[in-house]
Amino acid sequence: AQSVSQHNHHVILSEAASLELGCNYSYGGTVNLFWYVQYPGQHLQLLLKYFSGDPLVKGIKGFEAEFIKSKFSFNLRKPSVQWSDTAEYFCAVNVLYGNNRLAFGKGNQVVVIP
C-alpha cells in the first residue's frame, strides 16, 4: 500500500518568509500527486496537482511543487507567505490505473504570523 510522509507537522513563519513543505511517498509505480489545503473552518481544497509532463507545477495563490521521481518527493514551496496562508496542508498520492483512492500524509499545520 502507498504511504505518504510529511515532516515538521507544525510550522510557524513570519509574513514574507519562504515556505517549503516536504512530501515523500513510497509507491514505485506511476502516480498522481496532489497538495490539498484546508483553511480554518473550511473544507479541503485542491492547491495543485501533478499528473505528467513538466515536474515543476504551479498552483493557486503563488504555490508551486516539484516532482522529483528519483527521490519519490513532491515538495511544496511558496517564496513569500502571507497571513492568509495560515492553514493545514496535505500531500496526497494515488495510483494511475488504480482505483483512484487517495493516500494522504498527516498534514502540516502552518501558522503565519503578521
Partner 1 sequence: GAGVSQTPSNKVTEKGKYVELRCDPISGHTALYWYRQSLGQGPEFLIYFQGTGAADDSGLPNDRFFAVRPEGSVSTLKIQRTERGDSAVYLCASSLEVGERADLNEQFFGPGTRLTVL
Nearer to partner 1, 17 or 95 (CB): 95
Residue 46 host element (H or E): strand 45-50
- Shortest Cβ distance from residue 103 to partner 1 (Å)? 7
- Shortest Cβ distance from residue 59 to partner 1 (Å)? 13
Residue ranges binding partner 1 (CB under 8 A): 4, 6, 9, 32, 36, 42-46, 49, 51-52, 90, 92, 94, 96-97, 99-107
Nearer to partner 1, 49 or 77 (CB): 49
Nearer to partner 1, 14 or 58 (CB): 58
- Shortest Cβ distance from residue 88 to partner 1 (Å)? 9
- Residue 59: C-alpha distances to residues 2, 45, 97 (Å): 24, 12, 24
Give the residue among 7, 9, 11, 8 at the shortest CA–CA distance from 111.
Answer: 11
Residues 6+ apart with CB under 8 A from 41: none
- Shortest Cβ distance from residue 60 to partner 1 (Å)? 14
Query: What region, left, alpha or beta, does residue 107 occupy, with left being phi > 0 and alpha being psi -120 to 50 degrees?
Result: left
